């Protein structure tokens, strides 16, 4: 995928919907992080990721830049960028849309609380 995905907002009489991916190879999952826990600081070689915070609170880190993870926050993470999601006092859930070749173990870990390599 070239560049940031274009989120298209479509208005309807009942409200709206946001189109995140249309006719492209992607993998979709929901990530849930327990209070006080964090994903490893990692990057991917074969995929970009688009995160939408569903609920909860925490911190998103992308290439050293930290931002508040709050409901509705949207972040595009390019392949090769170091990133991490951390939960605060409450759990946080993120919808992740991965663009490109998805392999669960495509990550390169730079830091991990749980001793994983």
CA pair distance 16, 42, nearest whole angstrom: 34
The per-residue pLDDT of the chain, averaged, comes to 89
User: What pLDDT, in 10s, does the model give residues 63-101?
Assistant: 999 999 999 999 999 999 999 999 999 999 999 999 987
**Helix-strand-coil percent breakdown of the chain, rounded to 5?**
0, 60, 40
Please give the residue that has the higher pLDDT: either 23 or 34. 34
- HSE at residue 8, side-chain half, CA atoms within 13 A, is 5
Lowest mean pLDDT among 13-22, 41-50, 83-92, 102-111: 102-111
CA pair distance 14, 35, nearest whole angstrom: 35
CA pair distance 82, 78, nearest whole angstrom: 9
CATH topology of domain 26-111: Jelly Rolls (2.60.120)
Q: What is the CA radius of gyration of the chain?
A: 15
């Amino acid at each position: 995928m070239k560049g940031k995905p274009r989120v298209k907002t479509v208005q309807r009489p009942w409200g709206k919907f946001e189109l995140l991916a249309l006719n492209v190879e992607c993998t979709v999952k929901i990530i849930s992080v327990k209070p006080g826990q964090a994903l490893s600081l990692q990057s991917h070689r074969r995929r970009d990721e688009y995160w939408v915070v569903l609920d909860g609170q925490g911190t998103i880190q992308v290439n050293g830049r930290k931002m508040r993870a709050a409901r509705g926050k949207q972040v595009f993470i390019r392949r090769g960028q170091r990133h991490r999601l951390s939960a605060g006092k409450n759990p946080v859930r993120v919808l992740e849309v991965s663009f490109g070749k998805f392999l669960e173990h495509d990550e390169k870990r730079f830091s991990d609380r749980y001793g994983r390599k």
